[in-house]
Amino acid sequence: MLNFIDARCQLGRRGIVREGEPVTKSDILELMDRCSIEKAIAYHAMAKEGDMKAGNDLLLQETEGDERFIRQWCAMPSTFGEFMGAEELAEQMKKHHVSSIRLFPKTHGYSVKPYAMGKFMDVMAQCHVPVFLTYAECGSEDNLYSLLSSYPEVNFIISDASYRENRKLFPLMEQCKNLLLGTGNFVVHGGVKLICDYFGAERMIFDTGLPMGSATAAVALICYAEISEEEKQLIAHGNIERLLADVKL
Amino acid sequence: MDLKEYVFLGKELKDTYVVDVHIHVGGSTRYQKPGNDADSVVYTMDRVGVDVVCASCSPGAYCDWKWGNEMCADAHEKYPDRIKAYAVVNPHYTFDLDAYFANSDRFLGLKVIPFVQGTLPIDCPGLQPYYEYADKYGLPVLFHAWMASEVKDATAVAKRYPNARFIFGHSGFTAFEESVAACKQCDNVLLDTTISDTYDGALERLVNAVGVDRVAFGTDLTAFECSHILGRILLSRLSDTDKEKILGLNAKQFLKL
């Protein structure tokens, strides 16, 4: 049976909760157990929606001693004193066992163009830190291409590409080998097999978007994909384990 | 074996009757739709264990309904026990539905999606003759019912034509309150599970509100995959008895398959 590592999970109180949606950490753990998800890479809702520094601190508190969650901080390029500089970020990540970062450029109001990302992304490249963001947060395919092609040493995990994006997404995947696709909402008919056939199973990372996304759907998408058991193992956990093992903070 | 175990094994469902009430054949100029022909549909059905699908033709909804309906009927004729066909109607044209339904089982029912035909409302005058026909012969009608306004219009139609049987596509997840109201007001309404993206717990919420007998498996295949929606049902907190009703038994009774 496949065991999964979820590469996209949010902890903490968010602003909007729909009726019946998982809310607490124990709600999320119940779903992880039900869906054979062993671990989840988690960031904090406060770091996305409220205060980045406070949210990253809350993440440390809420995951203290909990081996089911792999810590991820939200981050942004240094904005003249608002957020810590890249070297300090790397030091703090090492100190607190944080192994990846998540960006929300659209929500947080900054550009992903090289003139803005600058040294921040250079440090992430030096430390082999995987960088996560959603398709919609990039703003446009051209923005995404600019980011991916400017930092070819950085592995970017791009999630939440919808079933309507193939014509934009596939050329990006062909041109930018450092684009890894989060599988959560990629519900193209036979899409997982398509990516394996065109680009290889190494280019996909299992994620759910919990608690707003669906773990039950995300797991079935991989289990029912018409690909080999070895390819499923890579997508379910092998690829993300390889990336995290390569982090040099 | 528990139904959820099929997911983890990646095995097709066996000994469970599965009907997908909402799929599409045919391509799209708007985005890539891999595997949209009848052969690919049946291949996918076998891969996950779906017995019967009810299909309409996507291009026929957007433009040439005559071409689309013939394509869909051809899919049915190639796989008569696996693919059932909805005839797409378009309020801008006059249809001779006898040509589709009289003395023929080429079509199962009607697909109504005026949202892509000039954003006309579901209850527009141009569609009334087709509802009257469905009412006269007790035909099933599949609505694209995404927005609350569409669900309200669809509910008014379902009330006015009580002998027709209406499936509200998408609405249980996108217009929850209106869908619950429709089920309370109309015995001839079934909600389907078609949605690309929603949260865990949404299906249980819907079943709790309208009753398990009012929900049927629908996926939008080949507009997108079907396995993720199958997973939402099979890995939900519902009992296997309830899952079997949603997966096929409700549709079998409602569509008289």
Dump pLDDT digits (tens) for B47-62. Answer: 999 999 999 999 999 9
Please indicate whether, in this complex, the C-beta atoms of A164 and B30 are within 8 angstroms of each other.
Answer: yes
Structure-derived torsion over alpha carbons of residues A215, A191, B205, B153, reported in degrees to the nearest 10: 160
Q: Which residues of A touch B41 (CB under 8 A)?
A: none
B243 in contact with A at a CB cutoff of 8 Å? no
Confidence category of residue B243, pLDDT binned at 50, 70, 90: very high
Task: Report residue A181: phi and psi, to 5°.
Answer: -95, 125
CA-nearest residue of chain A to B23? A189
Q: Distance (Å, rounded) from C-alpha A181 to C-alpha A168?
A: 13
With CA atoms as reference, the chain B residue closest to A211 would be: B199
Which of A20, A185, A214 shows the shortest C-beta gap to B205?
A20
Q: Is A16 on the interface with B (CB under 8 A)?
A: no
A46 neighbors A74 (Cβ within 8 angstroms): no
CB contact under 8 A, A163 and B200: no
At residue B239 the predicted structure's pLDDT band, cuts being 50, 70 and 90, is very high
C-alpha distances (whole Å) from B31 to each of A73, A159, A164, B26, B223 are: 34, 19, 5, 12, 9
Residue A16 CB neighbour total at 10 angstroms: 7
Disruptive mutation site among A1, A170, A214 for chain B (greatest number of B CBs within 10 Å): A214
**Domain with A20 in it:** 4-245
Cβ–Cβ contact B235 with A under 8 A? yes
Amino acid at B76: H
| B223 contact residues in A (CB cutoff 8 A) | 163, 189
Instruction: Give me the residue from A18, A162, A223 closest to B8, CB to CB.
Output: A223
Angle at B204 between CA B198 and CA B209, to 5 degrees: 110
Helices (H), B120-185: 128-137, 148-160, 171-174, 176-185
- The reported pLDDT for the residue numbered A81 is 82
What is the predicted pLDDT for the residue at A82? 86
HSE-CB at B192 with a 13 A cutoff on CA atoms is 32
Q: Which residues in chain A are contacts of B227 at CB distance < 8 A?
A: 220-221, 223-225
> Tell me, what's the pLDDT at A157?
98
Secondary structure of residue B142 in the 3-state scheme: strand
Structurally, how many domains does chain A consist of? Answer: 1
**Chain B CB within 8 Å of residue A164 CB:** yes
Query: What is the predicted pLDDT for the residue at B15?
Result: 94
Q: How far is A18 from chain B (nearest CA, A)?
A: 9
Q: Are A136 and A166 in contact (CB under 8 A)?
A: no
Do the chains contact at B232 and A214, CB–CB below 8 Å?
Answer: yes
How far is the C-alpha of B36 from the C-alpha of B40, rounded, in Å? 6
**Phi-psi region for residue A97, left (φ > 0), alpha (ψ -120 to 50) or beta?**
left
Pairing, β A131-134 against β B215-216: unpaired
Lookup result for tokens 């992430």: A124
Backbone angles phi, psi at B39, to 5 degrees: -60, -45
- Contact criterion met (CB < 8 Å) for A163 and B201: no
Please list every residue in chain B whose beta carbon sits closer than 8 Å to the beta carbon of residue A191. 34, 225
Q: Which domains does chain B have, with CATH numbers?
A: 3-8+16-255 (3.20.20.140)
- Which run of H or of E encompasses A152? none
* Among the listed residues B3, B118, B237, the one whose alpha carbon sits nearest the alpha carbon of residue A30: B237
Residues of chain A with C-beta less than 8 angstroms from the C-beta of B235 = 34-35, 215-216, 219-220
The CATH code of the domain that includes A10 is 3.20.20.140
d(CA A83, CA A110): 12
Residue A118: the pLDDT is: 86
B76's CB contacts (< 8 A; 6+ apart) are: B55, B83, B84, B85, B106, B107
Task: Work out the minimum CA distance from B103 to partner chain A, whole angstroms.
Answer: 35
Q: Is B228 on the interface with A (CB under 8 A)?
A: yes
Q: What is the pLDDT of residues B129-168, one digit of tens each?
A: 999 999 999 999 999 999 999 999 999 999 999 999 999 9
Instruction: For residue B173, list chain A residues with Cβ-Cβ distance below 8 A.
Output: none
Angle between helices A166-175 and A141-150 (to 10 degrees): 10
B177 contact A CB<8A: no
Angstrom distance (rounded) from CA A189 to CA A8: 22
B25, β-bridge pairs = B57
Residues of B in contact with A10 (CB under 8 A): none
All residues of chain B having their beta carbon less than 8 Å from the beta carbon of residue A220 are 7, 227-228, 230-232, 234-235
How far apart, in whole angstroms, are the C-alpha atoms of residue A65 and residue A61?
A: 9
CB-CB under 8 Å, B36 with A187:
no
The predicted structure's pLDDT at residue B38: 98
Compare CB distances from A22 to B8, B48, B200 and report the shortest one's residue: B200
Flag whether residue B29 sits within 8 Å of chain A, measured between CB atoms: no
Q: What is the pLDDT at residue B183? A: 98
The pLDDT score that the predictor gives to residue A183 is 98
A–B CB contacts, 8 A cutoff, strictly below:
128
The whole-number pLDDT of residue A80 equals 79
Q: How far is A91 from chain B (nearest CA, A)?
A: 36
Quick count: other Cβ atoms within 10 Å of Cβ B175?
A: 22
Which residues in chain A come in under a pLDDT of 50? none
